[in-house]
Chains A and B, each alone.
Chain A
């Protein structure tokens, strides 16, 4: 008796294989969930990261280092993002990192004429945040 089922079973098997492979690759064992960059952080953690950058900047006055750190977050408009976060934080009356220092410019973005500009190397610091 001649088998007339053809080769559709091969296509079926191939599709089943692809589905199994994708389920394993995307759901069961996706690429490692570690070694991420600050740009991939949840928005609220990005806010906390920004606040931490600002707190460190207030402490050190190291503007190039703060700018380099802010670039890690991949914000399209850094100044605008900082300003919006500062306004939100002021409206809430607290800092995302838990700091409450009245009058401290913790989240504000310094302009080119900031008193901190020019003081970056006063402590002999390495300006690259990763060195």
Chain B
């Protein structure tokens, strides 16, 4: 009986060491991730890039396609999330206006066939 207790104690000790090594000392390093996994401030900067390009190009379908890189959420929702992060950081007023303009236009956008749904 004592042997079994000792056995399970060292198994638990081994699990602890394994978790420590796998989570802290040598955790999984992620490569080949997608834009949807980016940290929120990076995603917000990406949305700002889309808004900057949209301001010059005026192509809402293209803007929506670019925003689709950030996940399956509707483009307008992605921009709204970015606006919240931009206000928290905070972004310059001119940048927040760009995001606001894009969000506003996406509200009334009718997606072309094959485009991400709003």
Residues of A with Cβ closer than 8 Å to B? Answer: 9-26, 30-31, 33-38, 40-43, 45, 48-49, 52-53, 55-56, 58-60, 69, 72, 97-99, 101, 123-126, 129-131
Asked if B33 and A36 sit within 8 Å, CB to CB, the answer is: yes
Asked if A41 and B14 sit within 8 Å, CB to CB, the answer is: no
Asked if B14 and A69 sit within 8 Å, CB to CB, the answer is: no
Contact A21/B49 with A35-B39, A72-B42 known, Cβ cut-off 8 Å: no
Return the chain B residue nearest A41 by Cβ.
B33
User: Chain B nearest CB: distance from A82 CB in Å?
Assistant: 15
User: Chain A nearest CB: distance from B71 CB in Å?
Assistant: 11
Asked if A14 and B14 sit within 8 Å, CB to CB, the answer is: yes
Complex A-B: 14 CB contacts under 8 Å: A10-B10, A17-B10, A17-B16, A17-B17, A21-B16, A36-B39, A41-B35, A43-B32, A45-B33, A48-B35, A56-B49, A69-B49, A99-B62, A131-B89
Contact A9/B49 with A18-B14, A36-B38, A125-B95 known, Cβ cut-off 8 Å: no
User: Chain A nearest CB: distance from B53 CB in Å?
Assistant: 4
By a CB distance below 8 angstroms, the chain A residues around B35 are: 41, 45, 48-49
Asked if B92 and A60 sit within 8 Å, CB to CB, the answer is: no
By a CB distance below 8 angstroms, the chain B residues around A10 are: 6-7, 10
Choose one: B11, B28, B34, B41; the contact of A16 (CB below 8 Å).
Answer: B11
**Is B84's beta carbon under 8 Å from chain A?**
no
Asked if B66 and A98 sit within 8 Å, CB to CB, the answer is: yes
User: Chain A nearest CB: distance from B99 CB in Å?
Assistant: 13
User: Chain A nearest CB: distance from B26 CB in Å?
Assistant: 9
By a CB distance below 8 angstroms, the chain A residues around B12 are: 17
By a CB distance below 8 angstroms, the chain B residues around A31 are: 23, 27-28
By a CB distance below 8 angstroms, the chain B residues around A17 are: 10-18
User: Chain B nearest CB: distance from A13 CB in Å?
Assistant: 4
CA distance A52 to B46 in the complex (A): 8
CA distance A124 to B95 in the complex (A): 10
Return the chain B residue nearest A130 by Cβ.
B41
List B residues 33-65 near A (Cβ within 8 Å).
33-35, 37-42, 45-46, 48-50, 52-53, 55-57, 62, 65
**Which of B9, B17, B42, B65 has the largest count of A CB atoms less than 10 A from its CB?**
B42
By a CB distance below 8 angstroms, the chain A residues around B111 are: none
